[in-house]
Amino acid sequence: MKKGRLAKFILIPIFAVAALSLLIFVFMSLWNWLVPDLFHGPSLDFCHAAGLLLLSKIIFGLGKGRGHCGKCGGGPGGFWKNKMRHKWEEKMAGMTLEEREQMKDKWKNCWWGDEKKQSPETKSE
């Protein structure tokens, strides 16, 4: 296994555990700051906060999926994504072929840079 792959294989789980621990800690801190004072409820330790967070994920998160309902357009952010897609399709339909090519070149230069920034292999082509 290459050195970079081995580092990713080791570092990604470490960062995932650290991020999850940070999320649980933030949840626990917010709970202990708000609930005992506002509702006279119990304080949570780290393990109870993790369990409550997992329980809320099971109850509210797993049953629905991620935004795959008929109203939203079939995916996360689907309604707005489809709305913007229709807007661009209408704009492109009203353009001539030359205007479309100019827009494509403009976007290509925006994302990939102009010819000064291109590599020598692409300049010669």
Q: Count how many Cα atoms sit within 13 Å of the Cα of residue 54 in the half-sphere of its side chain.
A: 8
Task: Decide if pLDDT at 117 tops 70.
Answer: no
The confidence score (pLDDT) of residue 63 equals 54
Q: What is the dihedral of CA 20, 23, 25, 26, to 10 degrees?
A: 170
Q: What is the CA radius of gyration of the chain?
A: 25
Task: Decide if pLDDT at 6 tops 80.
Answer: no
Q: What percent of the chain has pLDDT over 70?
A: 71
Residue 102, both tokens: 């100019």
**What would the pLDDT profile of 69-100 be if each residue is shown by its tens digit?**
545 445 556 666 777 777 878 888 888 888 88
Task: Decide if pLDDT at 114 tops 70.
Answer: no
Task: Decide if pLDDT at 22 tops 90.
Answer: yes
Task: Decide if pLDDT at 67 tops 70.
Answer: no
Confidence label for 121 from pLDDT (cuts 50, 70 and 90): low
